[in-house]
Each structure stands twice: as C-alpha cells, then as structure tokens.
C-alpha cells in the first residue's frame, strides 16, 4: 500500500506516470512539442532537467553541451539567453525555459533535475518568483545540490540523492528505523549490477513513508513487473505505452 503523501505534489490516485524529458518517442526530448504531446495524452507529471544560461535563465535541457541535440560543440552555460533562444533542436524546436513550461502547463507538476551548480540559484529564484512550490519535486545526482535548493525554497517535495540512495539501501538491508524528509526515492531498476528496486526495498520504503519512482522504463513487461511489486510511479520515454499499461490495470 502506498504511504500517505508527505507533499501535495505526490497526492494522486493510481500510479504516478511521469513523461521523462517530456517523453521523446513522438517529438525530441525536452521540447514544447514533447511536453504538449504528453499533456495531450493526459500526463500531469512531467520530468525534465534544467541548466542555466550565462545570464541566469533556467532552461529545460539535459546535456551540459549542445552537441547531441543542436549540433554545436559548446556548453549551454556559456551562452546568454538571447543566444540560446536562437538555437533549434533538430532544426525545428526552440529550447524552452522552465518559466515557459510553468506558464504553458498550469495543471502540470514537474520533476526537476538540477543538472549543474550554475542553475541552482536561478532555479531557486524562479521557484520563489512563480510560487510553484507545490508543483515541483527536486531531484539531482548531487545530494548537496538538492539540499541547497531546499534551503532556498523551503521544504518542497524532493527525492534522495546518490549518497542518500546508498544510505537507504544499507538501511533497508538492516531494516533500520531511519526517518526521511524526502518524499520519494527515484531509482533505476539496478545500478552497477546491484538491484535498486525489489519487493523488500519497496516494502521498507513504504514503512518509512517514502514513495518509490523508477526510471526510465520503456519496456512493457518491465512496467508490469514493477507494478506487481508495488512501485508508486514510473518514468518513461514511451508515454503511449505506459498509459496503455496503466489503463489495462485500472491505474490511470
């Protein structure tokens, strides 16, 4: 059974379905076309990564550099917002700002991965300016970045970072009665050959008041296996597939 949500962000019947980077099967990742497609299918949880421009504008973009998505070998953090706004992903799509996403999708909730230190302060400022505290969950591959964002915006929904994940696995193994401020664990199925999501770890997480969200799942059989275990959320690139699976299980 899912634990009571610690944050309003996590309050939802059924399983939380996250469109990973907007879901990139029908449109390029982290583009307005991808986010519109996901929302059009009924998704209300949108996952994205953020970087900041040289002058402190927060953009929804995964990579440190523009090579893979734009074809330019330059770091996004070295460009001004005016320069970034002229760029096109795969020739057709502009790089959206986080402010644009907040405004365009007022009913959506965003799982935000602060990818690098230069984005932390601009992200804090944006959240406070837009008052989107209840619409966000903060994650990162840096425990320190998560804590820094929380110091700036207050106790918003957040997941544990990498060190927190290690501590959780050790605590789950020893069944230690440790408390957590975080609202969720957001793990891959396994990491470095070590299973991260198991029936036992899910049961322990629920006892500690944590939801378990798993990324990034694009295989139907794996979706069913994880749902059978009792996970609380799935992140996917294939929004149509995950929706189909959840609909068939009456979890949409």
- At residue 5, the pLDDT reads 85
Give the burial class of 217: count Cβ atoms within 10 A of its Cβ; 0-12 exposed, 13-18 middle, 19 or more buried: buried
Catalytic residue, candidates 20, 51, 158, 213: 20
pLDDT tens-digit series, residues 115-124? 999 999 999 9
Predicted pLDDT at 25: 79
CB 58 within 8 A of CB 98: yes
Domain ranges across the chain: 8-248
pLDDT for the residue numbered 220: 98
49: helix, strand or coil? strand
pLDDT tens, residue by residue, 165-192 = 999 999 998 988 888 999 999 999 998 8
Q: Is 20 labeled as catalytic in the residue annotation?
A: yes
**Which regions in the chain score pLDDT beneath 50?**
none
Catalytic, out of 36, 62, 94, 133: 62
Architecture of domain 8-248: Alpha-Beta Barrel (3.20)
* Separation between Cα atoms, residue 127 and residue 129, nearest integer Å: 5
Q: Which residues pair with 75 in a beta bridge?
A: 65
Residue 91's pLDDT is 86
3-class SS letters over 72-115: CCCEHHHCCHHHHHCCCECCCECCCEHHHHHHHCCCCEEEEEEC
**CA gap 180, 64 in Å, rounded:** 31
- 121: tokens are 């302060």
What confidence score (pLDDT) does residue 252 get? 95
In this prediction, residue 181 carries a pLDDT of: 93
- pLDDT at position 187 is 94
What is the pLDDT at residue 48?
Answer: 98
């Amino acid at each position: 059974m899912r634990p009571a949500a610690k944050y309003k962000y996590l309050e939802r019947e059924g399983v939380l379905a996250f469109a990973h980077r907007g879901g990139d099967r029908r449109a390029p990742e982290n583009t307005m076309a991808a986010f519109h497609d996901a929302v059009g299918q009924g998704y209300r949880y949108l996952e994205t990564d953020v970087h900041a421009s040289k002058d402190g504008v927060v953009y929804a973009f995964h990579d440190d550099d523009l090579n893979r998505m734009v074809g330019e070998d330059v770091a996004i953090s070295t460009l001004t917002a005016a320069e970034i706004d002229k760029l096109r992903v795969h020739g057709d799509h502009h790089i959206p700002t986080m402010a644009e996403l907040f405004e365009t999708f007022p009913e959506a909730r965003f799982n935000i991965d602060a990818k690098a230190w230069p984005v932390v302060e601009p992200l804090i400022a944006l959240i406070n300016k837009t008052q989107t505290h209840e619409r966000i969950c903060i994650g990162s591959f840096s425990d320190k970045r998560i804590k820094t964002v929380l110091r700036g915006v207050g106790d918003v929904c957040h997941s544990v970072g990498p060190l927190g994940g290690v501590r959780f696995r050790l605590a789950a193994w020893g069944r230690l009665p440790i408390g957590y401020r975080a609202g969720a664990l957001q793990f891959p199925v396994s990491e470095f050959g070590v299973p991260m999501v198991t029936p036992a770890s899910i049961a322990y997480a629920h006892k500690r008041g944590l939801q378990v969200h798993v990324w990034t799942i694009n295989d139907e059989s794996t979706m069913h296996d994880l749902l059978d275990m009792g996970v609380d959320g799935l992140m996917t690139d294939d929004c149509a597939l995950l929706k189909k699976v959840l609909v068939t299980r009456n979890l949409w």
